[in-house]
Amino acid sequence: MYRFLKISWILLSNSYTFKKHYQRCHICKSRKSSYQILQERNLQNDKFRYATYLCYLVYAPLCIAGPVLSYNAFASQLDVPQNTNSFRDVLRYGFRLVPSLLLMELMTHIFYHNAFAISGLWKQLSPLDVFIIGYGVLI
């Protein structure tokens, strides 16, 4: 009896939470799924596939920064069709990429952080200099 009451209370509190969320969320009012709903709702059984889980495990932001999104949100976003960009938009992003690459090349030729880190000269430097070189390598 106690277990049944506990389960029914959990279901009611979740439905109350979702109703409250739907009332306040401007994304859900426009008939789109917000990230909170994608993250917390249960997926159908066909979404739990080995290939989808493998894609989630090798997702680059997950490997670098830890779990930035849940598996439920990741699997839900796979079904959303990608926005198509016009050739003009792609060209504009390409032109934005070129100065970034040029700046990166310029910085690697002017700042020798990586050379210090690889050569072993950092062993003779002060702790502050080692920190500055390490910070420069990370950036």
> CA 80, CA 33: separation in Å to the nearest integer?
10
Q: Is the pLDDT of residue 7 over 50?
A: no
In the 8-state DSSP scheme, what is residue 86? P
Answer with the residue of higher pLDDT: 137 or 126: 126
SS3 81: coil
Average pLDDT, rounded, for the chain: 74
Q: For residue 42, what are its two tokens? A: 């249960």
Largest CA distance in the chain: 73
Answer with the residue of higher pLDDT: 116 or 19: 116
What pLDDT shows up at residue 61? 81
pLDDT digits (tens, 9 = 90+) for 50-105: 888 888 888 888 777 777 777 777 877 777 777 788 999 999 999 999 999 999 88
Instruction: Tell me the chain's radius of gyration from C-alpha atoms.
Output: 24
**Alpha helix stretches (DSSP H) within the chain:** 2-24, 26-29, 35-40, 50-57, 60-65, 71-78, 87-110, 113-119, 127-138
What pLDDT shows up at residue 112? 80
> CA 90, CA 96: separation in Å to the nearest integer?
10
